[in-house]
């Protein structure tokens, strides 16, 4: 795992966007795995700014999002579909037929998980997966204890994850209890991974990840087994001396 430490969230967002743009320019048909949450917002902002300035084209790109809440309409303001439309897809020239997000609002969730996982497999696992990390080490919505072999599946969110995401809802009761997430085994199939870590609240998680100890109770630790991972972290997320 390569670690790049930058001064603050602003720099992290610039560097992450630069990293992704370099890959898009090199491979205009790239398949990107995308993440939601607070951390990548600035990255998407910079991608959109670049699009406005330089017209980098998204026309031939395919994207797969990592996760989606169960039970929210895709048009719900807190659905990850809506997040992606608002922060990226509606603002660049991406072809919406090449945009994939699990649908958490279907009656047969198992079938949806299988369909989604197969779509990713058909694309060879993807070229670059963007990731954030939860305080408990979750990536996507793969909570502690998730099998390293897992494919796309329905997961029950932990209280700490629901509490962390309650800031986007009126109250914690409104945060869905379940989500569909791309599994850890599926994430590992991406040829390359870019993990963004920002802020003091992620310090403990980052230190644990960098220790290199691989443990199913800390989902992100699986990344130590991947041959091509870049971590961009800001100073607040990096422990002194670590
Ligand atoms: C969310 C998402 C993850 C994200 C993580 C951290 O619940 N499902 O994909 O990486 O939690 O979020 P944030 O970047 O807001 O700290």
Burial class (CB in 10 A: 0-12, 13-18, 19+), 90: exposed
Residue 100's pLDDT is what?
98
Ligand 1 binding residues, C-beta < 6 A: 35-39, 66-67, 132-134, 140-141, 161, 165
Residue 242's pLDDT is what?
47
Residue ranges, the chain, pLDDT below 50? 242
Whether the model clears a pTM of 0.85, i.e. scores above it, the answer is: yes
Residue 241's pLDDT is what?
56
**pLDDT exceeding 90 applies to what percent of the chain?**
98
Give pLDDT tens digits for 175-201: 999 999 999 999 999 999 999 999 999
Catalytic residue list contains 136: yes
Q: Quote the CA–CA distance of 132 and 14 in Å, as a whole number.
A: 15
Q: Quote the CA–CA distance of 135 and 1 in Å, as a whole number.
A: 19
Give pLDDT tens digits for 82-116: 999 999 999 999 999 999 999 999 999 999 999 99
Nearest one of 113, 5, 130, 192 to 139, comparing CA atoms: 130
**Active-site residue (options: 15, 67, 112, 234):** 67
Distance 135 CA to ligand 1 centre (A): 9
Output the residue whose Cα is nearest ligand 1's atom 6.
134
* Count of CB atoms situated within 10 Å of the CB of 214: 12
Residue 81's pLDDT is what?
97
């Amino acid at each position: 795992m390569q670690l790049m430490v930058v001064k603050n969230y602003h720099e992290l967002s610039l560097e992450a966007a630069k990293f992704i743009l370099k890959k898009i320019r090199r491979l205009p048909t790239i398949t990107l795995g995308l993440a939601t949450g607070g951390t990548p917002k600035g990255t998407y902002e910079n991608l959109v700014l670049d699009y406005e300035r330089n017209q980098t084209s998204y026309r031939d790109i395919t994207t797969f999002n990592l996760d989606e809440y169960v039970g929210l309409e895709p048009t719900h303001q807190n659905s990850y579909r809506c997040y992606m439309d608002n922060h990226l897809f509606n603002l660049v020239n991406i072809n919406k037929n090449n945009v994939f997000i699990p649908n958490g609002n279907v009656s047969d969730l198992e079938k949806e998980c299988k369909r989604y996982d197969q779509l990713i497999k058909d694309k060879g696992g993807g070229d670059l997966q963007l990731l954030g990390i939860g305080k408990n080490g979750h990536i996507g919505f793969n909570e502690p204890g998730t099998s390293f072999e897992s494919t796309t599946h329905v997961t029950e969110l932990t209280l700490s994850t629901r509490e962390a995401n309650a800031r986007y809802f009126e109250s914690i009761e409104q945060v869905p209890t379940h989500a569909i997430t791309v599994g850890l085994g599926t994430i590992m199939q991406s040829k390359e991974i870019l993990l963004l870590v920002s802020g003091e609240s992620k310090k403990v998680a980052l230190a644990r990840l960098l220790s290199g100890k691989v443990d199913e109770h800390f989902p992100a630790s699986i990344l130590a087994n991947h041959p091509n991972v870049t971590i961009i972290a800001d100073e607040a997320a990096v422990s002194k001396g670590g």
